[in-house]
Structure 1
Amino acid sequence: MALTAFVCGCTGNDRSQPQAVVILGAASTKDLLSDIAEAASNSLDRPVEIEISTGPSHALAQQILSGAPADLYVSANRQWAEAVVDADLAEPAVDWLSNALVVVVPADPTVAVDRLEDLASESVKRVAIAGENVPAGIYAQQALSYYQLWEPLSASGKIIRGHDVRSTLAYAERGEVDAAIVYATDARLTDGVRVIARLDPASHSPIVYSLVRLHGESPAADAVYQFFVGDEARHIAERYGFQAFSVSQDEE
């Protein structure tokens, strides 16, 4: 289930009712989006009420394609962002952030997993990755194939699929799996896991978070979008461990 957060900035000289702005974002951006939204609401010269719902990128894209109202969409890969743009529902997507994949194990493990190759050992029974249509799951499967681990792990029934990358991380936090592949930014958020390997970027497609401004007349949404592609939002993202792209005026 998608988490929903509200950030209301209702101060300043404008005494009108706050305008609602709806953001749908990839699960791995949940905390980041909340922080950026709070910063935006405190900086804009108009009162806004920002609603944030997070979940698997493909599920959010399907919601948008099915008519769900939204103003901004953050996808953890270009594919789902382009699907929304190709449906003539949005302005061209921009490359907003990047990330990396890591292998994590429970902080208090029951099985010794100290390197990537250990995933194939007989003592390892379950390895979690995100769902097959979820960007984190797609990247993880590509990486495991690159390291020639996908076939032995899947053939032996070790692969456990999470609903999204955060639920995949939770499996490892709770000790329900021996290891999980998640984004580096997710692993930073908890003491419940330990990183044992950082996967080579060459092992998977580039991890690119696309930011999409959906069609609709909303000065508040335009202002929030401009904040999201600005310097302050970029600095917040970098504090979370994301790599931020510089968005040019032409792309905006």
Structure 2
Amino acid sequence: MKFYEQGRDPSPRYTGNLNASHKWSLPGVEPCPVCDLQPEGGTSAQYPCVDLSGLPPEDQEKLLDAWPVPREEFIRRCELVRPLAPPYAVLESGAAFGPLRGSGLGYFGQLVMQNPWSLCMRREALEKLQKAGVQGLISCPTQVRFRTKHAPDLRDIQLEFHGRFHPDCLPPPHPPCPTCGIAMGHSVPDPYLLDASSLPQHVDIFRLADATTRIIANERMVDAVRRLELDGVVFKALEVR
């Protein structure tokens, strides 16, 4: 099975821009006073299908503020979300919940990537891919307003986490902080290799667990996009070991 990194098509015809965000998110965590690292890590994960509107207003209010909090308060906020989140959810700082809300303008392709870590699709494109048997496309409608007669019906895609870097492309690990026990991470290797044993068989598109700003598609997804002539994204082949 071949795997690809999915990215936004840079062609100038795709002028679409979403001035939108997810309503709720998990805050940052106050850093260690010695190493200045967050003890709970961080993520670019987005869970648009997770509706937190049933929480008490005072709890929802806490999930609107991304300002760093003590670790004990961060854990408490995670526990507010956990019963409503899917089992595969990674509840780290920056995790966002609820559909995109805001405004949009410009021309969008069939597949829409506002940035490397987010994915929306026009409803008709999503239905075509699902009919073609592509697995892993959980979605919900966006709440984005468009100032045009022919506004796209965009669906926000919620992705599972899978995949690790192969050890051969990673630098030696940093020693852990003697105070908090956290070790500084590393930037995404360029180029990077994927560990074959960590890649999923049950979904055809997913968020890379070792680099949550990357969205990965397998050849079934890529073949379907190309066969159906869906536009808006490009694919870069990755090496797997």
What is the TM-score normalised by the length of structure 2? 0.27
When you count helix as a share of all residues, which structure comes out higher? 1
Q: Which has the higher contact order (CA 8 A, sep 6+)?
A: 2
